[in-house]
Amino acid sequence: MSRQVVTRFAPSPTGMLHIGGVRTALFCWLFARKHGGRFILRLEDTDLSRSTDDNIRIIEEGMAWCGLDWDEGPVVGDPSQWKGPHGPYRQMQRMDLYRAKIQELLDKGLAYRCRCSRETMEGRRKTVEAAGKVFQYNRGVDAGKGCASAAHDASQPAAIRFRMPEGGDIVVADLIKGETRFPANSLDDWIIARTGDGPGEIGVPTYNFCVVVDDTDMQVTHVIRGDDHLNNTPKQIPLYEALGSDLPAFAHVPMILGADGAKLSKRHGATSITEYQAMGLLPSAVRLALARLSWTPKIDGRAVETAEEELLTDAQMIQLFDLEDCQKSAARFDMDKLQWLNQKLIQRSSWQELEPHLRPFMAEVSKGAWAAKPDAWKAQAIHATQKGKSLTDMAEALRFAFEGPTTFDEKAAEKFITPTVKPALREVRDLTDYSHDALEAGFNAILERHGLKTKDLAQALRVALCSKPVSPGIFDTLMLVGRDEVVARLDRWL
C-alpha cells in the first residue's frame, strides 16, 4: 500500500506571485488532484527583510484567484492560524523543529560547528583560485583547512555545516529529467545553520536544510519544483539519509521564458499573476495556458490534435495530467495562445459563469450601474459581447449601454447620418415595442419604406447611439440602450 500522494508549493513571499511560480504550483496541484492526494501551501519566509504579511496575502489571494486551493497551509488573513496536521506552515514559526533536527545531526556527528571567519575563508578561497582550482570547503586544495577535523566545541558562536559524503556519485532519479548523476566530489560541506547569536547557539537554518526537514515532516511524497533546484537536489539527498527519512520522488519542471527566450522579467510585461487578472483573463484560461507550457496532454497515448481538444476543462486536465508527458526544456510564454484560449473559454461559458468574473470590470465601466441591472438584461449584454478576447474587451464593448455619446466620430457621422437616412431614424425613434422580434420587424419595415439597406440604417444608428460605427448587433444595441435612452440620443440628430 503506497502512501497518499502529497505535493507542496513553497514560495517566498517577496512581493508578488510570479507566473512561473503559479505554473509550478499548478503542476503540484494537478498531480495531487489526479492522485487523490493532498496539496500543501508552505511559506518560505526566512528572508526577514522581504517577508511581510502583505506579501503573504498577495500569494494567498493569487493562488485563490487561480483556483489553486490547498488542503494544508495558512488560513488566509490570519498569521496565527493554519489548517492541516503538520503546521505551522510558515518557516519562521518552525524554528524549534529545525533546531532540534540540527542538534540531532550534531549529536550524531553528521554535522559540525564551523568557526571559520569570513576573513580566513576569503584568504583560503584566494589561495585555491590562485592555484587554478575551485574552492570547496574542506575539500581539494582546502582539505584539512576547515573545521571538520578540529575540536569543535561550543565555546564560540559558530555556523553549522553538514558533512557530505565523499567519492562516488549522488544520483537524482528525476521524473522529468531522468537520471542525473552528480560527482560527490563536486560538492562540499554546506552550511545548514547560520552563525548563532552566542556560544553553542544554533542560528537561523538555511533554505536547503529547511526544505528537507519540512518536506519530511509534512510527508511530501513528490517534490515538484522549478528546475533551478535540480542542482540543489544532490545536496539535499544525503541530508534525507542523515535524517533517516525516505526520499521523495523528484520532478523538476522547466522554467518559463519571455517571448525573446530570456528569463521572464518585468520588461516582458506581465510577470505577476495579478496583472493577468487585471487584463480580463479568466482564471481557467490562465490555468490552461500555463499547464500547456511544457506539458502535452495525451489522450489514449495520442497528443491532443485539434483546437477542440486543446480546450481542456479542469476535470480533463486533472484526469490527463502526467509528469511523463512534460517537456524537459524551457518554454517561452505565448501571450497569443493565452488570449486565444481566453476567447474560446469565454465563448463557451454560460452568462452565469461569466458574470462573476465580468462584474468587477463592469462595475467600473458602468459606474456601479451594472449590479442593479436585471438578470435578463445582463444575460443579453453578455451574449451580445461574448466574442471578445477578454473581459476588458467585453466591458469596453458594453460601455455604450451606460454612457451616452459626448463626442462623435465626425467622419463617421458625416458618412452615415445622411439626409436620406434621417427620416428613417425618426421612425426608429418612434418604435415602442423593444422585444427583439418586434424591433427586427419594425426595422425591416422602415428599411423597405425608405428603400435603405440594413447597413445604411444600422451604421447610422450606431453612430447616433454609440458615437462610433462599432457596436454589438443592432437589435441588441437598441435593446441594451433602452427605448427612453434611444429616443433621447436620437433626438440630438433629428
Q: How far is the CB of 120 from RNA (least distance, A)?
A: 9
* Angle in degrees, 0-180, between the axes of helices 474-481 and 454-466, rounded to the nearest 10: 30
What percentage of the chain's residues is helix, strand, coil (to nearest 5)? 50, 15, 40
Residue 334 as a binder of RNA (CB under 7 A): the answer is yes
Residue 44 as a binder of RNA (CB under 7 A): the answer is yes
Q: Residue 404 in contact with residue 488, Cβ under 8 Å?
A: yes
CB burial of residue 281 (10 Å; 0-12, 13-18, 19+): buried
Residue 177 as a binder of RNA (CB under 7 A): the answer is yes
Q: Is 189 helix (H, G, I), strand (E, B) or coil?
A: coil
Indicate the residue among 3 and 300 with the shorter CB distance to RNA.
Answer: 300
Return all residues near 225 (Cβ < 8 A) that are at least 6 apart. 10, 24, 251, 252, 253
Residue 462 as a binder of RNA (CB under 7 A): the answer is yes
C-alpha cell at 64: 485563490
Within residues 295-314, the interface with RNA by CB under 7 A covers 296, 303, 305-307, 310
Residue 182 as a binder of RNA (CB under 7 A): the answer is yes
Residue 266 as a binder of RNA (CB under 7 A): the answer is no
Question: Among 5, 26, 41, 114, which residue interacts with RNA (rule: CB under 7 A)?
Answer: 114
Q: Residue 18 in contact with residue 63, Cβ under 8 Å?
A: no
What values do phi and psi take at 38, rounded to 5? -115, 150
Q: How far is the CB of 434 from RNA (least distance, A)?
A: 15
Reference 135, options 113, 150, 152, 120; nearest CA is 120
What values do phi and psi take at 274, rounded to 5? -65, -25
Q: How far apart are CA 20 and CA 24, in angstroms?
A: 6
Indicate the residue among 66 and 187 with the shorter CB distance to RNA.
Answer: 187
C-alpha cell at 164: 557530505
Stretch that binds RNA, among 30-38, 82-90, 228-236, 375-383 (CB under 7 A): 228-236
Stretch that binds RNA, among 56-64, 290-298, 357-365, 423-431 (CB under 7 A): 290-298
Indicate the residue among 13 and 37 with the shorter CB distance to RNA.
Answer: 13
Query: One symbol per residue from 122 to 151: x for binding RNA (CB under 7 A), - otherwise; what is it?
Result: ----------x-xx----------------
Q: How far apart are CA 33 and CA 317, in angstroms?
A: 10
Q: How far is the CB of 206 from RNA (least distance, A)?
A: 4
Residue 46 as a binder of RNA (CB under 7 A): the answer is yes
Return all residues near 418 (Cβ < 8 A) that are at least 6 apart. 460
Indicate the residue among 31 and 295 with the shorter CB distance to RNA.
Answer: 295
Stretch that binds RNA, among 25-33, 63-71, 181-189, 352-360 (CB under 7 A): 181-189
Q: How far is the CB of 338 from RNA (least distance, A)?
A: 8
Q: Residue 352 in contact with residue 320, Cβ under 8 Å?
A: no
Within residues 414-453, the interface with RNA by CB under 7 A covers 453
Instruction: Please count the residues of this chain forming the interface with RNA, following the rule CB under 7 A.
Output: 81
Residue 110 as a binder of RNA (CB under 7 A): the answer is no
Residue 15 as a binder of RNA (CB under 7 A): the answer is no
Reference 34, options 288, 302, 320, 252; nearest CA is 320
Q: How far is the CB of 247 from RNA (least distance, A)?
A: 17
C-alpha cell at 42: 508552505
Question: Among 4, 155, 327, 435, which residue interacts with RNA (rule: CB under 7 A)?
Answer: 327
Stretch that binds RNA, among 31-39, 59-67, 277-285, 289-297 (CB under 7 A): 289-297
Residue 119 as a binder of RNA (CB under 7 A): the answer is no
Indicate the residue among 37 and 294 with the shorter CB distance to RNA.
Answer: 294
Q: Is the dihedral of CA 122, 127, 130, 133 positive or negative?
A: negative
Helix or strand holding residue 338 (H, E)? helix 335-347
Q: How far is the CB of 477 from RNA (least distance, A)?
A: 8
Residue 194 as a binder of RNA (CB under 7 A): the answer is yes
